[in-house]
Amino acid sequence: MKNLPKIVLIGAGNVATHLSQALYENGIQVLQIFSRNLQKATELALQINAQPTNDLSKITDKGTIYIIAVHDDAIREVAEQLAYLKGEKRLFVHTSGATPSTVFKGVFKNYGVFYPLQTFSIDRKANFQNIPICTHTKKKNRIKILEELAQRISPKTYKINDQQRATLHVAAVFVNNFSNHLFHIGEQICEDGNVDFDILRPLIQETTAKVQSNRPIEMQTGPAKRGDVKTIQRHLDYLKDQSHFKDIYELLTANISKTYQ
């Protein structure tokens, strides 16, 4: 990378926090961090030698790439407030898996997406060596700079267009959000039955370890796959007073049965 891009980060949440640290650790200068909350922007900016601001009308025009890491629903609104910075030289990207790059259409000249595909929580260290970064921009002269930025912080980079990213995001909701919710339900059931959830943690570990080197469809076990009707009935009886869990049990059992019939 001959001329390192200068980054401006809009947002100070989960993604902005981890991304700004990864950029900083890899020698990429973050000029400025925006948050509506100046204290949040300042805390983050101090860690990476950037300038904090809580004023979208005072964003520096010296940036090369502007990364907008705000709530999906606020991306367009924030972009419109940054429209005064549009220009041939600057590239604007968001970090959302679910939002098409066209959210920027009519606002900026150069725009795209810089989507780190991982689940981020502010207090949990993110290892970018194992975080795929999906980049997209239609402007040919901007693809290289975006890819090079991604490669600087992660060895796993992919050119993923809007349609492919929509596919990945729906799949990600199933493999992460839904499976985590099912872990939560398991914990709830243990708590209600006065059993230690820790006993189930090795099972969770093995479940996720197996799919690292095997197809999930080949790793399925359990009563729904086997067609053990009596066991399924016992479970439904157990959940008879917890209809919010019973509904999910029935839906997933029917879906698994259909998959393996």
Ligand X SMILES: NC(=O)c1ccc[n+]([C@@H]2O[C@H](COP(=O)([O-])OP(=O)(O)OC[C@H]3O[C@@H](n4cnc5c(N)ncnc54)[C@H](OP(=O)(O)O)[C@@H]3O)[C@@H](O)[C@H]2O)c1
Stretch that binds ligand X, among 92-100, 183-191, 207-215, 243-251 (CB under 6 A): 92-100
Q: How far apart are CA 69 and CA 14, in angstroms?
A: 9
> Checking DSSP bridges between strand 91-94 and strand 65-68, what pairing results, if any?
parallel
CB of 188 to ligand X, least distance (A): 23
Q: Encode 181-225 in three state secondary structure.
A: HHHHHHHHHHHHCCCCHHHHHHHHHHHHHHHHHCCHHHHCCCHHH
Adjacent-strand bridge partners of 238: none
Please give the DSSP secondary-structure letter assigned to residue 257: H
Among 20, 53, 96, 110, binds ligand X (CB under 6 A): 96
Among 78, 79, 113, 153, binds ligand X (CB under 6 A): 78
Q: Are 34 and 85 in contact (CB under 8 A)?
A: no
If the CB atoms of residues 119 and 141 are measured against ligand X, the closer one turns out to be 119
Number of residues in contact with ligand X under rule CB under 6 A = 23
CB of 71 to ligand X, least distance (A): 4
Residue nearest to ligand X (CB): 13
248: contact with ligand X by CB under 6 A: no
Residue 145 in tokens:
């700079």
CA dihedral for 34, 120, 79, 137, sign (positive or negative): positive
Among 23, 33, 69, 134, binds ligand X (CB under 6 A): 69
Length of the chain: 261
If the CB atoms of residues 78 and 224 are measured against ligand X, the closer one turns out to be 78
If the CB atoms of residues 72 and 247 are measured against ligand X, the closer one turns out to be 72
Stretch that binds ligand X, among 116-124, 140-148, 155-163, 252-260 (CB under 6 A): 116-124
Q: In the window 13-52, what residues touch ligand X (CB under 6 A)?
A: 13-16, 35-37, 40
Report the side by side order of strands in the sheet with 30-34. Answer: 51-53, 30-34, 7-10, 65-68, 91-94, 111-116, 133-137, 157-159
If the CB atoms of residues 78 and 232 are measured against ligand X, the closer one turns out to be 78
If the CB atoms of residues 170 and 217 are measured against ligand X, the closer one turns out to be 170
Q: Which stretches of the chain bind ligand X, using CB under 6 A?
A: 11-16, 35-37, 40, 69-72, 74, 77-78, 95-97, 116, 119-120
